[in-house]
Structure 1
Amino acid sequence: MPVSVRTAYKRLLKKREIHSDEGQARAVEAFARLEGELDSLNDPWIPLPFFSRGKAPKGLYVWGPPGRGKSMLMDLFFDSAPVQKKRRTHFHVFMGEVHALIGAWREGDASARKKRFGTAKGDDPIAPVADLIARDARLLCFDELQVTDIADAMILGRLFEALFERRVVLVATSNRPPEDLYKNGINRQLFVPFIDMLKRRCEVVEVAGPKDFRLDRLKGAQVYFSPITAETSKAFDHLWRDMTRVTHEVGATIEVAGRRLEFPRACGAMLRASFEELCARPLGPQDYLAIAGRFQTVFLAGVPKLGPERRNEARRLVTLIDALYEAGTKLVVLAEGEPADLYPAGDGAFEFERTVSRLQEMRSADYVERAEA
C-alpha cells in the first residue's frame, strides 16, 4: 500500500533529502486534497465506471521556475494516487501520440477504425481518440506542459473538453502560468478558451522557492571526472543517482525553430546526455541556448579527446559550453582527458582555449556555489 503524498513528503524532510519550502508545502496540500477526493470516489468494491457516482475531482496545474521541486512532488503524488488506470508522461510525448491517433482515424477504413478504436462512426476523430485515451488512463499526469506548436494549440481545447466530459482528471507541471501558454502564438485567440477551461478544471498552484534544492548536493562535490575508467564512470553515475534520487527520469522535449529535441534522460531541471547526443548531431547555437534555458544542471558523459578530423564536434562543444556558461548552468563532465587535452590542435584550437578556461572555472567550487540570478 503506497504511503500518502503528505507522509512521503514528510519522510523526505525528516531524512534531509529536501529542505522545507513554503511553495512546496502548499502544493503538497493541493496534491493531498486531490488524493483524498480520488480515494473517496474510486471504491474498488463497487463495479461501476470510474467517477460514475459523481463529479470528477478538480485536477492540478503546478507551475514555477525549473528546479523548484515540481517533478519531485508529481512523483510522490503519482506513486500514491489511488487510481488503477493512471499515466504519467511528458506532454510532448502525449501530444505526439494524439496526432498519430488522429492520423490513424482519418486514414483508416471502417474495419481498421473498429479494430483500433472500437468504433467506426463519424468523421470527427476527437471523440474516438478521447474514448481511447480515457479507457487507458483515468488520471493523466503531464510533465512540462508547454504549447508552442500551432497544431497542438488548435486541437487542445476540443480534445480536453472531450476528456473532461469523460471525467478524466488532469495533473500537470509547467514553467509557465496558464495565462502564458502559447504566448504570442499564431491565432492565439482560438487557444484562449482552452486556458479558461484549464483554470476551471484545475487548481492552479505556484511553486517558486528561492533556489533549486538539489544544487546543494553539488557543493563540495567533484564535478569533472577524467579519464573515463570504471572508477570515474561509477562516480559520475553515483552523483547522478544522488541528484535524482527523489525524482524519476521522465525525459524532456525542447522545441527549437519548429524542431523537437528529445532527451530521454531528463529529470526536472536536470539533463543527462552524452557527447554524441549533444555534439555529434548537427545542433547549432539556438539549440544550445534552448538547452541552457531549460536545464539548470547538465551531466555531459563520454567527452572524447578530439583531433583535427573532428573539428565540427569541437566547434559544437565550444558553442555548448558558451551557452551553459553564460546561463550559469551547473555542469558535470565525464571526459577522456583534462580540459586542455580535449582539443589541443586543429581548426579552431585557438578558440577552444576559451572553452578550456570555462571548463576549468565551471568545475570550481566558486562557480558551483554561485548565487542564482
Structure 2
Amino acid sequence: MTSSLVQIYDSRVAAGRLRADAAQRALLPALEDIRSALEAPQKKPGLFGLFAKPPEAVRGLYLWGGVGRGKSMLMDLFHETVAVPKRRVHFHAFMQEVQAKIDIARRAKEEDALMPVAKEIAASVRLLCFDEMQITDIADAMIVGRLFDELFKRGVTVVTTSNRPPEDLYKNGLNRQLFLPFIAILNDKLTVREIASETDYRQHRLTGAQVYFSPASKAAHAAMDALWDELTGHDAASRLVLEVKGRQVVIPRFHNGIGRASFWELCGAMLGPGDYLAIAAALKVLMLDDIPQLSASNFNEAKRFVTLIDTLYEAKVRLICSAADVPERLYNEGTGSFEFERTASRLREMQSADWAADRA
C-alpha cells in the first residue's frame, strides 16, 4: 500500500531528514487530496472517444509564505509521489520556455501563437509544479492568463509556491489591469493556502554559520560541500537552464532555489547584467566556488564579478562562497581596484547572520 504524504513526512522527521513543523504538516492533507484525485482511474472514452473532452483539471494548490518556510520541500515531497505525467520547474524558467515557443509559432505564421504552445504542454503532462511563481516581466504578464486558462481547459492541474498571495502578483506592474483576470483564474482553479510557520529554515541553518571561506583550500571546499548537503537535504541536484534573449545561462547545480557554480562558470563566461538579473530572480541562495585573486590580468572577469555581486545584493540573494583571500584583499591593484572597495564592503555585509532575512 502506498504511504500517505503524512506518513512519508513523519518518517523523514523520525530519520532526522526533516525538522518537525506543525504548519508544514497541516498542509499535507490538501496535497494528499490532489494526489488521490489525480491518481483516481479516469473514465475511458466511449464509441466517440476521438471527440471526448480532456479530463477536468483537479483543483490545484497555491502555497504562499515567506522565504525558507518549507514551501518547496512540501511541493517536492508531493511531486515525487504522484504517479501521473508531471513536471516540476521553476516558474521563471517555464515562462522563458513558453516565450521562446511562442516566438517559434509566430515565425511559423500561426494564427494564434499561444494555442500550439498550450496544446503541446497539455499533451505532455497532467500536473505542473511551479516553484516561485512571480511576475515581473510585462511580456509574461500579458500572456500568462490566457496560457493558464487553456491549460486548465485541457485538464492540467497546477501546484505552485510563491512568496506572495495571488493578489500581490505583479503589484504596481505596467498595465496591471490587464493582468487581473489571471488572479481571478488562480483563485478559481487553485486553493490558496498560506504556510504560517514562524521559522525560516534556510535562515536558521545559516544563522551563525560561516558563509565566506578563504583561502579557497581543500578545507574550504569541504566546508562548502557540507553546507550544500545541509541546505539541500542531501537530495540530488539538477542543472538549471535559463533562457535570456535567446541564450542559455546555466547554473550547473540547482535544488529548491539553491544554486552552485564556480567563479569561472559565472564570471569567466560572456555574461552581462541581464543574465545576472535572471540568475538572481531564480535563486534564493548562490554558492560560488573559487573566487580568484583579482587584478588587471583578469579585469573583464573582475568587472563581471562586481556586476554579479551588485545584482545579488540588490535582490537579497544569500551568498556563500570560497575565495582566494578576504574581501578587502581580493583586488589590490590595477584599474578598478578603488571601485572594488564598495564590492568588498557588500561582501562583508552579505556575511552577516541576518542579511537577507527581510526578503519578501
Output the TM-score relative to the length of structure 2: 0.79
Aligned partner of 1:177 among 162, 165, 176: 165
Q: 1:144 to 1:358 in 2, by over 3 A?
A: closer
Map Cα deviations across residues 28-49 of structure 1 (whole Å, 9 max, x no partner).
Answer: 2221121122222458xx6899
Q: 1:129 to 1:233 in 2, by over 3 A?
A: same
Map Cα deviations across residues 71-112 of structure 1 (whole Å, 9 max, x no partner).
Answer: 1111101001121x1111122332233233333334338xxx
**Take 1:176 and 1:233, find their aligned partners in 2: how far apart are those partners?**
35
Aligned partner of 1:346 among 325, 334, 352: 334
Can you give the 5+ residue segments of structure 2 that lack an aligned partner in the other structure? none
Q: 1:267 to 1:2 in 2, by over 3 A?
A: farther
Q: Which residue of 2 aligns with 1:115?
A: none
Secondary structure of 2:335's counterpart equals coil
**Take 2:137 and 2:8, find their aligned partners in 1: how far apart are those partners?**
36
Q: 1:230 to 1:184 in 2, by over 3 A?
A: same
1:362, CA displacement in angstroms? 5.6
**Take 1:99 and 1:323, find their aligned partners in 2: how far apart are those partners?**
24
Q: Which residue of 1 aligns with 2:319?
A: 331
Judge conservation of contact 2:54–2:154 (CA < 8 Å) in 1.
Answer: no
Q: How does 1:286-325 map to 2 (within 5 A)?
A: 296-311=284-299, 313-314=301-302, 317=305
Judge conservation of contact 1:67–1:212 (CA < 8 Å) in 2.
Answer: yes
Secondary structure of 2:202's counterpart equals helix
Q: Which residue of 2 aligns with 1:113?
A: none
Q: Which amino acid aligns with 1:131?
A: K
- Pairing 1:135–2:120 present: no
Can you give the 5+ residue segments of structure 1 that lack an aligned partner in the other structure? 110-121
Judge conservation of contact 1:88–1:142 (CA < 8 Å) in 2.
Answer: yes
Q: 1:246 to 1:202 in 2, by over 3 A?
A: farther
**Take 2:157 and 2:141, find their aligned partners in 1: how far apart are those partners?**
20
Of stretches 93-102 and 218-227 in structure 1, the one that deviates more from structure 2 is 218-227
1:329, CA displacement in angstroms? 5.8
Judge conservation of contact 1:67–1:268 (CA < 8 Å) in 2.
Answer: no
Q: Which residue of 1 aligns with 2:255?
A: 267
Judge conservation of contact 1:126–1:159 (CA < 8 Å) in 2.
Answer: yes
Judge conservation of contact 1:272–1:299 (CA < 8 Å) in 2.
Answer: yes
Aligned partner of 2:134 among 146, 149, 152: 146
1:305, CA displacement in angstroms? 0.8
Q: 1:90 to 1:5 in 2, by over 3 A?
A: same
Q: Which residue of 2 aligns with 1:212?
A: 200
Q: How does 1:225-240 map to 2 (within 5 A)?
A: 225-240=213-228
- RMSD of the TM alignment (CA)? 3.9
Identity %: 46
1:315, CA displacement in angstroms? 5.4
1:25, CA displacement in angstroms? 2.6
Q: Which residue of 2 aligns with 1:93?
A: 93
Q: Which amino acid aligns with 2:105?
A: W
Q: Which residue of 1 aligns with 2:16?
A: 16
Q: 1:2 to 1:75 in 2, by over 3 A?
A: farther
Judge conservation of contact 2:87–2:128 (CA < 8 Å) in 1.
Answer: yes
**Take 2:103 and 2:310, find their aligned partners in 1: how far apart are those partners?**
41
Map Cα deviations across residues 4-63 of structure 1 (whole Å, 9 max, x no partner).
Answer: 3222222232233333334323332221121122222458xx6899x9796432011111
1:216, CA displacement in angstroms? 3.4
Q: 1:248 to 1:58 in 2, by over 3 A?
A: farther
Q: Which residue of 2 aligns with 1:102?
A: 102
Aligned partner of 2:211 among 202, 208, 223: 223
Q: 1:211 to 1:351 in 2, by over 3 A?
A: farther
**Take 1:129 and 1:287, find their aligned partners in 2: how far apart are those partners?**
25
Judge conservation of contact 2:96–2:242 (CA < 8 Å) in 1.
Answer: no
Secondary structure of 2:78's counterpart equals helix
Output the TM-score relative to the length of structure 1: 0.76
